[in-house]
Structure 1
Amino acid sequence: MSKSLPALIIFFLISSLGSSQIKNDLTFESSIGEAFEKYSVLRSNDPNEYVLGIVYFDATAGMSFRYLGNLNAQDDDTLQFEGIPNGMMIMRIESNWNKSHILSDDDVAVLKLEEDFVTSLSGLLKNYNPEKKDLKYKYDLGFAFNHSGDGNAALPYLMEVHAEDPLYERLPFEIAFAYNASGQYDKALKFIDSSDVIVTEDILLLKELNFAYANSDQIDKSIKLYDELKSKDFEKELKAEIAFNIAGHYFRSLNRDEFLKWKKETNTYNNTQLDGILDQLEAQLKIEIEKSTTGEN
């Protein structure tokens, strides 16, 4: 199975799926939000085999993938669909969704997916897509998109919740996280500034504030925030992440001296994961600086 689906098999349903063929013209460009509630194809560890299924949201299990079978590459540039002989699997999507291919309506028709009760998308949605979606459902769906790597898909659901209850659970953090994850740093800063949350009392929101500063060229504010928090009773992990984000800014701007300064500062917190990343960035920074001085692309 695809490495992108760390998963828990939930249940099986009996089915007698046949096989059909479609053209092998797969393009893996769709995010999890774009693939949501559609027939989607994922790469597997075998370059000649692809995984076919449906991405959907289960209010109990979270973001899920209904695995329907495989598409196997043939010599005539087609893909043959082989359904699971004895049933179907449902798996939990935890994180790190890789780009997928969305089947066209024509391919769905050729594979006769809507004609089988197990493979039918419309049948699935009747069971897992309630007509009345309450705040918890919308929040949980936004959360699931966020932590599957698609902040853009998360935002519409989170903002719907925000319109009704601005302080719902961890909503301010999730919205700021979604903006940052989708590269909308100015919007993240604007949202945090307008939030009713006392930012200095919210560690997770502080992380997002610093991340937005460091990635929107407001590095002075990021450094000031770090200086303010360094002597306070916050977790070492928070301080390490803030220092790491500042180092990341100087990596992107090819400022080796400042990068090394903030790499050293991050190292003081003995965060093995961040220290390892910084070692890799230091090596890459040397290469990037050499390219910039020689005019290489």
Structure 2
Amino acid sequence: MKHLFLITAFYFIVGSAFSQAANTGIDTSLKFNQRYTKCEKKWVVLSKKDTASYYLFGFIYIDSQAGFTFDLQGSFKVNSDNQYITDPKPKDHSLKLRIIPNWQLVALLPEKHFSELGIKPEPDWIKGYYAYTDTVRHNYRWGWIYNDQGEPAIALTYLEPAYRSNPHTPGLEFEIAYAYNALNQYDAAIKILEPAIQNKPDNMFFYKELGYAYYHKKAYKQAIDTYKTGLGYADNKKSEAKGELAFILANAYKSTGNENEYKNWMIKGKEYTPPESPLYKNFIDAGF
């Protein structure tokens, strides 16, 4: 409910800014081509309608629990000399928006306008969000967030140093292997996962990523063996993870031309998968 309030309030304010009187200026140097994931700890400007007077601007940062967050600082208009003039209405509260994955593209706020807006390169309050003592856990969490936002290359800039420091940090080996697989660096993923499995052989998700790497290297026998081993650690309960392993195992068999085993594992996979899972529809769509 709290997040819903923030998002609703944010769009109310955006709408108010857009409904101002006729436009008093547009800064054509602002390029709205930046994804928020490239703007961590940066001031950004939101695009506006041509008829709106004010641009909204704020600071993007990562909250370790909520992920990418936009702190709305205020609004400004552009005068005939291309100066930024802040909205005279006082800002008496902080408005933070938890950024959703398909959020709009933004423009970086030019540093030459910082003094006009009364802002520093980084606001003082941001220090609290980046005060950490455990660098490994911090890097793991930031890597997880970037992976979750579809940015595996950035994720690796955090995950690789964490791995060098403490490779068996819970969750770390999966995240770094996931990032390598997402970047088609399958040998790198295998190099991470083989010792990970030796250290924790009952982790089904290790087998999923290892099988994925073998499958995309067209090492189908190794992929099949890996998936089967992973399924051997599953309990008797239905689960999406268990169903997903069976689903990709079935498709590994299909890639070898073994239709009988493909059908066998698709049937099993459907039985493993809870009917309310989105994966369940994949089995239905495939005719099972």
Residues 64-83 of structure 1: pairs in structure 2 closer than 5 A: 64-68=69-73
Residue 152 of structure 2 corresponds to residue 151 of structure 1: yes
Question: Which structure is larger by alpha-carbon Rg, 1 or 2?
Answer: 2
Q: Secondary structure at the match of 1:64?
A: strand
Q: Report deviation, 1:147.
A: 2.2
Residue 60 of structure 2 corresponds to residue 55 of structure 1: yes
Q: Report deviation, 1:273.
A: 0.9
Q: Root-mean-square deviation (CA), in Å?
A: 4.7
Residues 102-141 of structure 1: pairs in structure 2 closer than 5 A: 102-103=107-108, 105=110, 109=112, 112-113=113-114, 115-116=116-117, 120-123=120-123, 125-130=126-131, 134-141=135-142
Hey, what's the Cα distance between the residues in 2 that align with 1:275 and 1:205? 22
Task: Quickly say closer, same or farther: Cα 1:207–1:231, change in 2 above 3 A.
Answer: closer
Hey, what's the Cα distance between the residues in 2 that align with 1:43 and 1:265? 50
Amino acid at match of 1:267: K
The residue that corresponds to 1:91 in the other structure is 97
Q: Secondary structure at the match of 2:123?
A: helix
Please say if residues 96 and 148 of structure 1, whose CA atoms lie closer than 8 Å, have aligned partners that are also in contact.
yes
Task: Quickly say closer, same or farther: Cα 1:163–1:265, change in 2 above 3 A.
Answer: same
Please say if residues 38 and 102 of structure 1, whose CA atoms lie closer than 8 Å, have aligned partners that are also in contact.
no
Residues 265-284 of structure 1: pairs in structure 2 closer than 5 A: 265-271=268-274, 272-277=277-282
Task: Quickly say closer, same or farther: Cα 1:274–1:59, change in 2 above 3 A.
Answer: closer
Please say if residues 196 and 206 of structure 2, whose CA atoms lie closer than 8 Å, have aligned partners that are also in contact.
no
Q: Secondary structure at the match of 1:201?
A: coil
Q: Report deviation, 1:28.
A: 3.8
Q: Report deviation, 1:171.
A: 1.5
Give a deviation string over 1:43-87, Cα, whole Å, max 9, x none: 89x999997543212346543222346799xxxxxxx99979744
Please say if residues 204 and 231 of structure 2, whose CA atoms lie closer than 8 Å, have aligned partners that are also in contact.
no
Residues 201-220 of structure 1: pairs in structure 2 closer than 5 A: 201-220=202-221
Hey, what's the Cα distance between the residues in 2 that align with 1:201 and 1:48? 60
* Identity rate, percent: 24
Q: Secondary structure at the match of 2:150?
A: coil
Task: Quickly say closer, same or farther: Cα 1:146–1:230, change in 2 above 3 A.
Answer: closer
Q: Report deviation, 1:196.
A: 7.1
Q: Report deviation, 1:274.
A: 0.8
Q: Report deviation, 1:221.
A: 2.0
The residue that corresponds to 2:163 in the other structure is 162
Q: Report deviation, 1:175.
A: 1.3
Q: Structure 1: give runs of 5+ residues left out of the alignment.
A: 1-5, 73-79, 284-297
Hey, what's the Cα distance between the residues in 2 that align with 1:100 and 1:256? 46
Hey, what's the Cα distance between the residues in 2 that align with 1:81 and 1:213? 57
Residue 248 of structure 2 corresponds to residue 245 of structure 1: yes
Task: Quickly say closer, same or farther: Cα 1:178–1:98, change in 2 above 3 A.
Answer: farther
State the TM-score, normalized to the length of structure 1: 0.63
Amino acid at match of 2:179: A
Hey, what's the Cα distance between the residues in 1 that align with 2:47 and 2:284? 31
Hey, what's the Cα distance between the residues in 1 that align with 2:176 and 2:226? 21
Task: Quickly say closer, same or farther: Cα 1:196–1:212, change in 2 above 3 A.
Answer: closer
Hey, what's the Cα distance between the residues in 1 that align with 2:72 and 2:258? 47
Q: Choose which of 6, 21, 26 in structure 2 pairs with 1:21.
A: 26
**Structure number with higher relative contact order (C-alpha < 8 Å, ≥ 6 residues apart):** 1
Give a deviation string over 1:167-207, Cα, whole Å, max 9, x none: 22321122112222333222111221244753532122222
Give a deviation string over 1:94-145, Cα, whole Å, max 9, x none: x63557344263xx54xx345445x644225445444977333222222222
Q: Secondary structure at the match of 1:21?
A: coil
Residues 218-233 of structure 1: pairs in structure 2 closer than 5 A: 218-233=219-234
Amino acid at match of 2:41: E
Q: Structure 2: give runs of 5+ residues left out of the alignment.
A: 11-16, 78-83
